[in-house]
Structure 1
Amino acid sequence: MSYDLFFQGFIAGESAGSRRSEMLAVLAPHIAERRGAFLRIEIGDGAADIYLSDDGMMANHISGTDPWDLLVTGAKSANWVILPIDGPICVTGPSQREQRPEGLGEGIVVVTSGAELRAAIDIH
């Protein structure tokens, strides 16, 4: 699937800076290909393309269900909010609601699994 998901951390409404190493630690055992900021991860029944930068991440071409769980686990580890295109803001921890920038979406959903993330953005 070519759905784009963006990941970023916030503190007091501002970008939280890099938590790249926390996300990379979660993804590392599943990296099948790496070229600069691009990572291709493969896990269980699927795969995803990842673009990891110093201040966030984008994931797309996500197939199967297992990569979704990995992405949520990584977001929790990095304390990142998941920002789907045309979807609600997905938070992985209770403090993230208050840390987001003012005006960044009204709909907020707490996600603790890949299934919850897929349901939030209506992907089955």
Structure 2
Amino acid sequence: MSFDVFAQRFVGGKPADADGQVLRALIAPHLGRVEPETRFAELIFEDGTADLYSDDEPGTGFMVNHVSGRRAWDLIARVAAAGEMALFAPGVPTLIFSEAARAHLPAELADGAVVVASGADILRAIADG
């Protein structure tokens, strides 16, 4: 899928950093080509790839696009859940990985947020968008 999916952690309705060390550890086994000057990394999986864009510190949030295969979505779910991050995509409700995360979202995002637990859940939410 070629649209942009953004991940951001919130605390008290404000953007907040996630634990970048944990996120890097999850992402590292899938790193392919990395272009630090454009903050781009290609993630490689047995069944596809994904383009990842982030600051030097992935805990500040990230964006993925050109996601192919199901394993990439599984990693996105693991990373977002580990970072207590919400996912945002065009035409899709805000996706969160625990009901507790809803309390930290800005009010305008909290009401329609949907709790998901896996890459398959993310794909369903996108399809239902």
Q: What TM-score comes out, normalization by structure 1 length?
A: 0.91
Matched, 1:113 2:118: yes
Contact residue 103 and residue 110 of structure 2 kept, 8 A:
no
- CA–CA distance in 1 between the matches of 2:93 and 2:110? 7
Partner of 2:72, secondary structure, is helix
- The answer for the alignment partner of 2:54 in structure 1 is 52
- The answer for the alignment partner of 1:76 in structure 2 is 81
- CA–CA distance in 2 between the matches of 1:77 and 1:70? 10
Paired residue type of 1:113: S
Contact residue 20 and residue 56 of structure 1 kept, 8 A:
no
- CA–CA distance in 2 between the matches of 1:23 and 1:82? 15
**Runs of 4+ with deviation above 4 angstroms:** none
Contact residue 50 and residue 58 of structure 1 kept, 8 A:
yes
- The answer for the alignment partner of 2:24 in structure 1 is 24
- CA–CA distance in 2 between the matches of 1:30 and 1:104? 31
- The answer for the alignment partner of 2:68 in structure 1 is 63
1:20 Cα offset (Å): 2.9
Judging by fraction of residues, say which structure has more helix.
2
Aligned length: 123
1:33 Cα offset (Å): 1.1
Q: Mind listing any 5+ residue stretches in structure 2 that lack a counterpart?
A: none
